[in-house]
Structure 1
């Protein structure tokens, strides 16, 4: 190799190493970050802690955002702990917070925001918000670099290694390590990134979303992965393969049949949670009005099925 070639190769190597160091520094967690902080991240910086999502839930939001731009900006404000949208216009850009205004300052409602933990590998792990942030990833104006604020709930950086991290995450209930068949998986099998294509589609998780306030309601202090515990309980009890979840009437029938099961469950450890069905939000009676609302032209199930039909 000539001297000129050697110099060119050396220059390229330095450039690549510099880029790597810069990228690593840019993604590193600042040493001053602590539990309780409201921090800004890009969606690409968040590592998932569950292997699946309910696609139909994400489809609802994406379908609604297509026809209701105000709702889209409202959701962004809410996710940033700002209560909701104050004002926007035709020039407003989803990723540019200076182009629209929210009702409160960032982090004003930190207890309602999505959450992350800090790991020994100096990365952020998302513990709540997989559906919302997958929506932001795929929506118009979103994407992997979309900026969002989250709340730090745990700092595990002082643990010896990632094995100790995942053990602590399981002990604290901050990770869901079950596949679509309720079989345990290893942490290494979790998705490496947000983006719906990286997640399995759990139809029972979507079922629980649309069943909310029909046969169950979120408790005042819900456990992490609440809907997954419900889904885990229901999977042996109702076969969604018997329904056409692209058809409104069939989907409504699935919700109705699931409601009958939910309302009659008598267990002290729903889905292995250690909590009873009542403690996990079981309602006393079926709410037909809520189910009816899902089917209207502005209902969640209507938007979801309309968007799904486009795919």
Structure 2
């Protein structure tokens, strides 16, 4: 088992959602072995299988509507009863007849694994007690398919619990699997011809053939056995997928769509040739293997079961085996149907940025800054069309968002009509600040300053008109504050002193007696004397 960290692809676990779990029922436990577990309740830890390999197995398992001894041999082996060996009441037993004709677990319900045997389906307990298989995907999927498609065989299997992470959250659970290399968050994308990462929440939830992506290299690894690969020496989890990553990195398989038998057979020949050179110490392929697998993941050729010598005498038989498998696959649409949504990209954020860009007018911005956004959007659309990775799309979306913020406006030479603005300013200047609410009054001053800045910075007429309309509305809404109330008209207390007070105009003024006034006084005096005289 590899313990090297998946450092390059661990970021794909960001933003994972919890899966829907199906509980395992009617399962007895014997130490770490759980017996008769429904295959449909076991979750995969890889998103792809080799459909041609499964087709090859099914073609040898089912003949004339019945199961062959090959089926029972493999099924009993995968249950842990290798060569018919089992334990009953603590005593080892052997039943070669049942081994080749039926399920030992079915015929002998109390059969247990011996101390030196294990089930071939290792599982990990995840959140909620759900079981996740780290191996045995092809066998389990094959048995489940045969049961569903032909109503033959068995859809339960013994499993070996190798770890218990049931107490973890889903996010921590996936991280744990990544850290321990117990999950493969990469799969072959036939449209791009490369292995790409995907979000682990898109892992299949059943061992159903149609929920898996088809990986032709996973199938071909099965047919390169004996010539280049010894399956009994494989020690790496997901070894065949690692092999596919190395082979595709050579660039030798570009242009193969794997929609025809010819593409598979071409790839079969190319793979044998490359592996032969690798085995023989070709420096180019040795260096490439180190770069692609050994340095980043710690994987060596021997861990993938690559033989020390290449045996070309095995090629012809394996090629024929592949040909027969492809013929069966072509004639079994239910098996050939694959998951088509694994690499679908989340374009929600990109769509928002594109909508923002489309709302802008190119004439308002410099050509270079506007074109940069346009080019990035084109690149993102191409990535989506070519089924690129979510990581690459997220990176492009961030670049688009930044480029939108960096758009440079074209300086305008438009002569602005400021008549309405000037009228409002004149109108405002006639007002006395102390007569109005200071906050509202200041907001109008701020609006005037903002409009003046717009004019200085060569804003557009539309922008100016909009702001002037807002300014006018603010001035219209400006109301004087309430005046101080005058005193009530009540009679004041009588004050004698006020009768003695003279107006200022009469205080300390020089006494001026005109001649006329003297004459009048004299006349009045004579008249008074005359009247007095007559009386007497």
After TM superposition, the score normalised by the length of structure 2 is: 0.46
Q: Are residues 270 and 213 of structure 1, via their aligned partners in 2, closer, same or farther at CA, if it must alter by over 3 Å?
A: farther
Find the counterpart in structure 1 of residue 125 from structure 2. Answer: 118
**Higher relative contact order by CA 8 Å / sep ≥ 6: 1 or 2?**
1
Structure 1 alignment gaps of length 5 or more: 1-23
| Equivalent in 39, 42, 49 of residue 46 of structure 1 | 42
CA contact (8 A) 1:95 1:147 kept: no
Structure 2 alignment gaps of length 5 or more: 1-20, 85-95, 189-193, 279-284, 333-536
Q: Does 1:187 align with 2:200?
A: yes
Q: Does 1:165 align with 2:173?
A: yes
Q: Are residues 287 and 276 of structure 1, via their aligned partners in 2, closer, same or farther at CA, if it must alter by over 3 Å?
A: same
- How many angstroms apart in 2 are the aligned matches of 1:107 and 1:89? 14
Measured against aligned partners, the alpha-carbon deviations of 1:244-297 in whole angstroms (never above 9, x if no partner) come to 6754x764443231122223231336544312224433334431222122245x
- Secondary structure, in 3 states, of the residue corresponding to 1:110? coil
Measured against aligned partners, the alpha-carbon deviations of 1:172-217 in whole angstroms (never above 9, x if no partner) come to 1110001323221111010121110000101111111111221233
| Equivalent in 254, 266, 269 of residue 267 of structure 2 | 254
Find the counterpart in structure 2 of residue 87 from structure 1. Answer: 97
- How many angstroms apart in 2 are the aligned matches of 1:217 and 1:270? 21
Q: Are residues 187 and 138 of structure 1, via their aligned partners in 2, closer, same or farther at CA, if it must alter by over 3 Å?
A: same
CA contact (8 A) 2:123 2:162 kept: yes
CA contact (8 A) 1:29 1:123 kept: no
Question: Which structure features the higher share of helix residues?
Answer: 2
The higher radius of gyration belongs to: 2
Q: CA deviation at 1:123?
A: 0.6
Q: Does 1:174 align with 2:190?
A: no
Q: Are residues 76 and 169 of structure 1, via their aligned partners in 2, closer, same or farther at CA, if it must alter by over 3 Å?
A: same
Q: CA deviation at 1:310?
A: 1.9
Q: How many residues align?
A: 276
Find the counterpart in structure 1 of residue 69 from structure 2. Answer: 70
Q: CA deviation at 1:127?
A: 0.9
Q: CA deviation at 1:112?
A: 5.9
Q: CA deviation at 1:80?
A: 0.9
- How many angstroms apart in 2 are the aligned matches of 1:41 and 1:89? 19
- Secondary structure, in 3 states, of the residue corresponding to 1:235? helix
| Equivalent in 294, 304, 307 of residue 325 of structure 2 | 304
Q: Does 1:213 align with 2:226?
A: yes
- How many angstroms apart in 1 are the aligned matches of 2:318 and 2:71? 19
Measured against aligned partners, the alpha-carbon deviations of 1:216-257 in whole angstroms (never above 9, x if no partner) come to 33463611111111111112323175486754x764443231
- Secondary structure, in 3 states, of the residue corresponding to 1:78? helix
Worse-superposed segment, 231-240 or 69-78: 231-240
Find the counterpart in structure 2 of residue 226 from structure 1. Answer: 239
What's the RMSD between the two structures over aligned residues? 3.3
| Equivalent in 283, 290, 307 of residue 268 of structure 1 | 290
| Equivalent in 147, 162, 184 of residue 156 of structure 2 | 147
- How many angstroms apart in 2 are the aligned matches of 1:219 and 1:274? 20
Measured against aligned partners, the alpha-carbon deviations of 1:96-127 in whole angstroms (never above 9, x if no partner) come to 721xx8xxx54336346111000122211111
Find the counterpart in structure 2 of residue 59 from structure 1. Answer: 55
Q: Are residues 64 and 129 of structure 1, via their aligned partners in 2, closer, same or farther at CA, if it must alter by over 3 Å?
A: same
Q: CA deviation at 1:77?
A: 0.9
Find the counterpart in structure 1 of residue 24 from structure 2. Answer: 27
- Secondary structure, in 3 states, of the residue corresponding to 2:187? coil
CA contact (8 A) 2:253 2:267 kept: no
Q: CA deviation at 1:78?
A: 0.8
Q: Are residues 148 and 242 of structure 1, via their aligned partners in 2, closer, same or farther at CA, if it must alter by over 3 Å?
A: same
